[in-house]
Amino acid sequence: MSKDKELFEKVYENPEAVWTEPDPPKELVELIETGKIKPCKALDIGCGEGFYAIYLASKGFDVTGIDISKNAIRLAKENAARQGVKIKFIAMNIIDLNKINDKFDFILEWALLHHIIPKQRQEYIEDIKGVLNKGGEYLSICFNNQNPDFGAKGKNLRIVPESAKMPAGTKLYYSSFEEMEQLFEPRFRIIETRLIKMTSGKKKHIGNYFFMEKNWKSLRRI
């Protein structure tokens, strides 16, 4: 994903990147409004222009937002200032997630995992576990391979065709629902899981929805 940094910097030179959704997704809103996730210390991974982090902060969360793009972080800080909320925004690559000297009770990761190649996902998920408090909750959403623009076939690696790259020019790795279960189940207690309809880049997508909890069983490495 580090190779994509220049591409993301270009996308975020100006506000309103093609995939930016100012309104929080209904799935996140539902979790907050029903009290399944209560105000706590939260981390928004791949926060972009900061709108979901701003939503969480407006609901009483103590939020940290991280993104690989310095331009995205600049825009996020400006948006938070306009909304009058205090959020800690950090420009950093997710491969450095284990360098965060903090622990969180809730981690939001919306439409990011499909940017990570499958062979690097286990290490990334271990890093997620490392910065999540015991009993902390984790919401992960990524593209499912039932999407219409899913292309190349493969046993494990699922890449959309070159003609169907994201507007930033980055490659995507679409995954089956079963693959996500295999990734998460040894590490977290899965609370809710389903396929959802979502939008990104002004397109409709099918997403893998996993809402999970870290407990004592997830402390073991595999």
Q: Where are the domains of the chain?
A: 2-214
Predicted pLDDT of residue 157: 42
Contact 133, 105 (CB under 8 A): yes
Indicate the helix (H) or strand (E) that contains 71: helix 70-83
Predicted pLDDT of residue 4: 74
- Using alpha carbons, select from 145, 129, 114, 127 the residue that is nearest to residue 216: 129
pLDDT tens for each residue of 83-106:
999 999 999 999 999 889 899 999
Lowest-confidence region among 28-42, 143-157, 158-172, 184-198 = 158-172
pLDDT at 207 over 50: yes
| Amino acid at site 49 | E
Predicted pLDDT of residue 164: 44
Mean pLDDT across the stretch 1-28? 84
pTM of the complete model: 0.89
Q: From residue 195, give the alpha-carbon distance in Å to each of 37, 142, 175, 180, 219.
A: 20, 10, 12, 11, 27
| CATH code linked to domain 2-214 | 3.40.50.150
